[in-house]
Amino acid sequence: MSAALVSKENNEAKFTLTFTGEEFDAETNKVFQEQRKNITVPGFRKGKAPRSIIEKRYGEGVFFNDAIDNLINGAYPEAVKELDLEPIAFPSIDFGDEKFEKGKGFTVTVTVPVAPVVTAKDYMGVKADRFVKKITDADVDNELASQQSRNSRLVVAERPAEMGDTVILDYAGFVGEEQFEGGTAEGQSLKLGSGTFIPGFEEQLAGVSAGEKKDVNVTFPAEYHAENLAGKEAVFHCTVHEVKTEELPELNDDFAKDYSEFDTLDELKADIRTKLEESAKNAAEYAGKNAVMDKVYEANPIDVPQVMIDDEAQAMFSEMEQNMAQQGISMEMYTSILKKTRDELVAEMKPDAEKRVKTRLIVKSIADAEGITVSDEELETELNNMAAMYGMTTEDLRKALEGQIDYVKQDVRNRKAIDLIYANAVLTDVEELPMKEAPAQEAAAEKTEAEEKSEN
């Protein structure tokens, strides 16, 4: 097989694939050997008829179509690689006026949409702000308090419940005189103030003692996932069996010995500071790279075919669906909560998909311009890291990625290009925004998590 580029313009490449007569005959014979076992010819046992007899009965070209398909399908990936093309959709094949005969070669013309050629500019010496967080004693104390809370235990409180306490209760929910499905539980554990139940429910249990009954009146949110309850007023007849409070271990050297690898509280606090500073450093680098690449993106406006954006949005949706499935959340449940269709969610992803596609093309062009390569050792390290992340052996990962190793290599190459851009950027460190003023994505993430809970 030989491949020859005919043209490459307007995001479309055209090239020819030429096969010799020997290649055509060999592939035709291969198809015959594979298919003969299923062919029945009168006078011969099934699968035993000679090729000449089969061709006489069904025509000389009986095996040609499959042979041609096999040759083209096998040659296409090699040709794309040899001609350094990046297809973005399925190709079309033009056979022209070819007449296929034994011993005769043939040529087809392939036309395929390809990624646009990009020549990036203004990517060295980029000026950008980098948000950093300085670790304070308060940050260390907060993390220590979190560890203290994680190692607390619940003990029975001989007093009325307070916000922050955990109550063990039975409840039955009614809308009017009718008890509704899913609104009943026995021995339910509920931490007051956790926001697990419907707004207003938990606050009404504050002040209730073990053994007491309490009617809790609430209104279901208008956007509640169960449409038959959305916006409805309801009453929950509750019986509190126990009130438990969190008992925290004392913060001293014994705490360090019991709950860490250290012997003293000061050693534990020093370790917490080190880890927080390392985390802050990584976060600053991540934020810095994003800020720099945003500048590079803005400096390199490009047009891309819509099919690339559509494919990327679909890939993003599939990735989200897989991630939710791992958390036990079905896409049906998610779309029901958001009251949106799959198509609407994919459409919402397209602006981000467009930025991803364009950024990848820009970074690839920079890697090309800078002559960035990936060594065998770097690729092996990447595969080892991926295998460890997925709990696989590197050999099993290679098998799973058969035919896709080049994509992994390109990812490593792109990261090296971004590292080069970042290393040459002019960065101004800016103190990180306080948590209460943090960007909306954190609040959005918390909202999504809350929406995914089954509220009662």
pLDDT, one tens digit per residue, over 13-60 is: 999 999 999 999 999 999 999 998 888 888 888 888 899 898 888 888
User: What are the boundaries of each domain within the chain?
Assistant: 2-113, 153-247, 280-452
pLDDT in tens, 63-81: 999 999 999 999 999 999 9
% of the chain exceeding 90 in pLDDT = 80
How confident is the model over 295-351, as pLDDT tens digits? 999 999 999 999 999 999 999 999 999 999 988 889 998 888 888 999 999 999 999
> Using CA atoms in the order 73, 75, 76, 80, what is the torsion angle rounded to 10 degrees?
160
Contacts (Cβ under 8 Å, ≥6 apart) of 243: 156, 157, 159, 160, 161, 165, 166, 167, 208, 209, 210
Burial class (CB in 10 A: 0-12, 13-18, 19+), 293: buried
Pseudo-torsion of CA 154, 155, 156, 158, nearest 10°?
-120
Please state the rounded mean pLDDT for residues 432-438: 47
Q: Please say if the pLDDT value at position 438 is more than 60.
A: no
Residue 453 pLDDT > 70: no
What confidence category does residue 380 fall into, taking pLDDT thresholds of 50, 70 and 90? very high
Q: Which CATH number fits domain 280-452: 3.30.470.20, 1.10.10.10, 1.10.510.10, 1.10.3120.10?
A: 1.10.3120.10
Dihedral (CA of 22, 27, 33, 37) sign: negative
Q: Which residues contact 314 (CB under 8 A, 6 or more apart)?
A: 346
* Tens digits of residue pLDDT in 179-236: 999 899 999 999 999 999 999 999 999 999 999 999 999 999 988 878 889 999 999 9
Q: Please give the Cα distance from 437 to 287 (Å, whole number).
A: 16
> What's the pLDDT at 432?
63
In the 3-class helix/strand/coil scheme, how is 322-390 assigned residue by residue? HHHHHCCCCHHHHHHHHCCCHHHHHHHHHHHHHHHHHHHHHHHHHHHHCCCCCCHHHHHHHHHHHHHHH
User: What pLDDT does 206 receive?
Assistant: 96
CATH number, domain 153-247? 3.10.50.40
| pLDDT for residue 435 is more than 70 | no
Res 135 pLDDT > 90: yes
- The answer to whether the beta carbons of residues 179 and 456 sit under 8 Å apart is no
Residue that the structure tokens 């096999």 belong to: 70
Q: Return the percentage of the chain with pLDDT > 70, whole number.
A: 95
**219 within 8 A of 204, measured Cβ to Cβ:** no
Kindly tell me the sign of the dihedral angle through the C-alpha atoms of 415, 416, 419, 425. Answer: negative
pLDDT over 70 at 369, yes or no = yes
| Residues 412/374, Cβ–Cβ less than 8 Å | yes
Q: Are 144 and 251 spatial neighbours (Cβ–Cβ below 8 Å)? A: yes
Does the pLDDT of residue 136 top 50, yes or no? yes
**Neighbour order of strands in the sheet with 12-19:** 2-9, 12-19, 106-113, 92-94
Which range is least confidently modeled, 96-110, 115-129, 425-439?
425-439
Tell me the CATH number for domain 2-113. 3.30.70.1050
pLDDT at 436 over 80: no
The stretch 425-442 carries a mean pLDDT of: 63
